[in-house]
Amino acid sequence: MKKFSLRAAGATLALGLAAAGVSPATAATTTATTTAPVTAPAHDLAPSFTVSGMKAPGFAGLVGIHVKNVGSQRYFADFPAISFKVEVKTDHGPTGVDRLITPGWFNGAYTQDLGYNEVTGTRTFMVTLSNPVEVGKDVLIANLNFGDGLTSEGRIYNYVTVTQVGRLADDKSTGNDQNIDSRKATRLDTGGTSKGIF
């Protein structure tokens, strides 16, 4: 009786799947696909920004640049150098006008000022890491100390982008480290999000 019941149940399931246009093999494959775990890449860094909730856009204040290790292994290399290009651009205000920005660096990183491009209105910095970033850690690597944005031509408002340019050979994930825009990736140090205009 039990054997008959099991066979009948199996036949009913097969008929139901066939009526729905799904074969038992396809159903099994679909179930396996939807339950497969998502694994993190071995090496992957994701940059972001922080700013004080007291800093008003266009006025003086500090902006922090962070990287988080979202991979499954420690991120470190002596060579090639692990580095990030940071570009300060004009959101609105007078164009082709430079603004006083003093860089800082933390946790073994070093920030180099590469100068101001008058044609594009961009000041560029290079941040190079020398210490490892442990799995899951969010590390402050640099900051930008913006001077007051008031100029003789009006107040200038800036935003920042960061791009990883030096990476480990197996770090193929670029969706979270290329042209990361402060207007979309800035957190307040008190919690919440910022408009990312400085």
Q: Which CATH architecture has domain 45-188?
A: Sandwich (2.60)
Cite the residue boundaries of each domain of the chain with CATH code 2.60.40.
Answer: 45-188
- The region of weakest confidence among 16-25, 68-77, 116-125, 188-197 is 16-25
Phi, psi of 122 (to 5 degrees): -125, 130
Express each pLDDT in 33-88 by its tens digit: 455 566 889 999 999 999 999 999 999 999 999 999 999 999 999 889 999 999 99
Alpha-carbon torsion (56, 59, 60, 66), positive or negative: positive
Q: Is 10 exposed, middle or buried (0-12, 13-18, 19+ CB in 10 A)?
A: exposed
Q: 165 CB contacts (<8 Å, ≥6 apart)?
A: 83, 84, 85, 126
Secondary structure of the chain: what % helix, strand, coil (to 5)?
A: 15, 40, 45
The C-alpha atoms of residue 50 and residue 94 are separated, in whole angstroms, by: 25
Phi, psi of 125 (to 5 degrees): -125, 155
Rounded to 5°, the CA angle 184-57-110 comes to 70
Strands 180-181 and 157-166: antiparallel
pTM to 2 decimal places? 0.80
Confidence at residue 138, expressed as pLDDT on a 0 to 100 scale: 98
- CB count in 10 Å sphere of residue 83: 17
Express each pLDDT in 132-183 by its tens digit: 999 999 999 999 999 999 999 999 999 999 999 999 999 999 999 999 999 9
Stated length of the chain: 198
Contact 113, 197 (CB under 8 A): no
Does residue 2 sit in helix, strand or coil? helix
Contact 157, 92 (CB under 8 A): yes
The β-bridge partners of 48 are 66
- CB count in 10 Å sphere of residue 32: 9
Looking at residue 27, the DSSP 8-state letter turns out to be: H
